[in-house]
Amino acid sequence: MASNVAPGIPRIMEALKSMPLPEKVRGWNQVISVEITDRPDLRYGWIIDGDRWHVTTGQTMRSTIRLLAKEDNLMNRLATGSGVDGYSVEGPVGSLGGGGVMSAVKCLHLVDGMAAYLRTFHQPALQEWLLQRPRKKHGVDAMSREQLVSALGSGDLETRKAAADALGDQGWAPPAGKDAESYWAAKWDWSKARAAAAESAVASGAGVSAQAAPSEVGLAVEYLAGHLRAKDVHRSPAVRQSLVHALVELGPPAVAEIYSQLGQSSNKSCTGDLVEAINLICSGPGPVEPRIKLLAYGGGGLTHLAFRPGQAGLKSALVAAGPAVVDPLIASLHDENVNVRQGVAEVLGRIGDPRAAAALAELANDPDSAVRKAAAQAQAPQAT
């Protein structure tokens, strides 16, 4: 990604030029005009021609769909993957209707694929934007330094963030202790926050015994998952995404630890964030073992993420693993999610292991036509 491009939509559009076209929109022929409504100077074209994909800048050929968005809204949608808001889709002369509904759905799949791709391969640029975007002051301009330090313990997440930013602007360095943890957590610097928390625990004698001490990765996952379960974090996709990023940075050794946290909260957003962290770790470069575990964990949500748009790299990794993943893949052929059954059938077809033949044959009666087609193609002699 070009480093001389300012954070935000321009840099993201540069990144998208190298994005593989999501599978769910391949074969689609559309010209999407992307208009940033609060930045008239920013206008782009997304041109889909079968399996080819182009991102252009400025005026494009006549569009078949218009995507309208404010820069901040669309960036938040791409950076956090939350909700379906952040943009609207219209026909060239007004709102879509009738046959245009399918175009809107396809556009939704495209944006979902973009969000997954950017969060997997361009997380630093997204994080830079989240940290640099204009912030609300929440009255901190009138506070003394002592009041700002006290505000680090506020029950309002935005107030904590504003106070930490103001202290940082003043060059304040937090002393060891609870204030240091609060400061770095408010700044979304989770590695420093975790280190400050560990120092406080040792200083207070609250550390765990060496006999039962969890691993460093386990402690880090427990700490980050605890913040994800906090009530005020539920309402901030940006903070949640920073925590997910911190989990992903722990790498493959964290997969089992993150999975162990899944049943400890009834909060669906927290569970979804933990699942996304596992998926992103398993979708990135590295050993294939975590990818096999991803399927073995099952539970619907994990395998659904494994085969959502933008995860072609994970499919290729599973194919490369070959016989080692055939058994968990066969078990996933009975998943309740249609995307999983279809994706698993495609991967098994590419692997070509005879052990999958009987299970693939059972999908001839699957209620979904796409699954039936994928299973039939997987059994064909030319499938590899």
Which range, 159-173, 193-207, 316-330, has the best average confidence (pLDDT)? 159-173
Distance CA 318, CA 32 (A): 33
Give 212's DSSP letter: G
Query: Which has more pLDDT, 258 or 208?
Result: 258
Q: Which CATH architecture has domain 300-384?
A: Alpha Horseshoe (1.25)
pLDDT of 153: 87
Judged against a pLDDT cut of 70, whether residue 20 lies above it is answered with yes
DSSP track, 344-357: HHHHHHHHT-GGGH
Judged against a pLDDT cut of 80, whether residue 117 lies above it is answered with yes
pLDDT of 205: 59
Considering the domain 9-122 in this protein, what is its CATH number?
A: 3.30.1050.10
Q: What would the pLDDT profile of 274-312 be if each residue is shown by its tens digit?
A: 877 877 776 655 555 655 555 555 444 455 555 655 556
Q: What are the φ/ψ torsions at residue 34 (nearest 5 degrees)?
A: -105, 115
Whether 355 contacts 330, CB under 8 Å: yes
What is the average per-residue pLDDT within 208-237? 78
What is the average per-residue pLDDT within 345-374? 91
pLDDT of 294: 58
Return the CA Rg of the chain: 23
Position 332 confidence tier, pLDDT thresholds 50, 70, 90:
confident
Which range, 36-45, 76-85, 321-330, has the best average confidence (pLDDT)? 36-45
pLDDT of 349: 92
Cβ-count burial of 199 within 10 angstroms (0-12 exposed, 13-18 middle, 19+ buried)?
A: middle
**CA nearest neighbour of 163 among 77, 380, 309, 174:** 174
The count of C-alpha atoms lying within 13 angstroms of the C-alpha of 319, restricted to the half-sphere facing its C-beta, is 18
Per the DSSP assignment, residues forming a β-bridge with 142 are none
Distance CA 291, CA 289 (A): 5
Do the first three CATH levels of 9-122 and 300-384 match, i.e. the same topology? no
pLDDT of 102: 64
Residue 375 DSSP SS3 = helix
Q: What would the pLDDT profile of 160-196 be if each residue is shown by its tens digit?
A: 888 888 888 888 888 887 889 999 998 888 989 999 8
Whether 266 contacts 302, CB under 8 Å: no
What's the whole-number average pLDDT of the chain? 78
Distance CA 370, CA 85 (A): 28
Q: What would the pLDDT profile of 149-161 be if each residue is shown by its tens digit?
A: 898 888 888 888 8
Position 212 confidence tier, pLDDT thresholds 50, 70, 90:
very low
pTM across the whole model: 0.60
Strand order in the sheet with 28-36: 52-57, 43-50, 28-36, 65-69, 88-91, 94-95
Query: Which has more pLDDT, 78 or 203?
Result: 78
Which range, 130-134, 220-224, 284-288, has the best average confidence (pLDDT)? 220-224
**CA nearest neighbour of 219 among 187, 254, 271:** 254
Give 232's DSSP letter: G
Residue 10 DSSP SS3 = helix
pLDDT of 221: 92
Domain edges within the chain: 9-122, 140-203, 300-384
**CA nearest neighbour of 350 among 309, 313, 315, 302:** 315
Give 223's DSSP letter: H
Matching residue, tokens 């820069």: 71
Judged against a pLDDT cut of 60, whether residue 96 lies above it is answered with no
Output the CA torsion sign for 161, 218, 123, 233: negative
The count of C-alpha atoms lying within 13 angstroms of the C-alpha of 272, restricted to the half-sphere facing its C-beta, is 11
Distance CA 89, CA 32 (A): 9
How many angstroms from the chain centroid is the CA of residue 381?
37
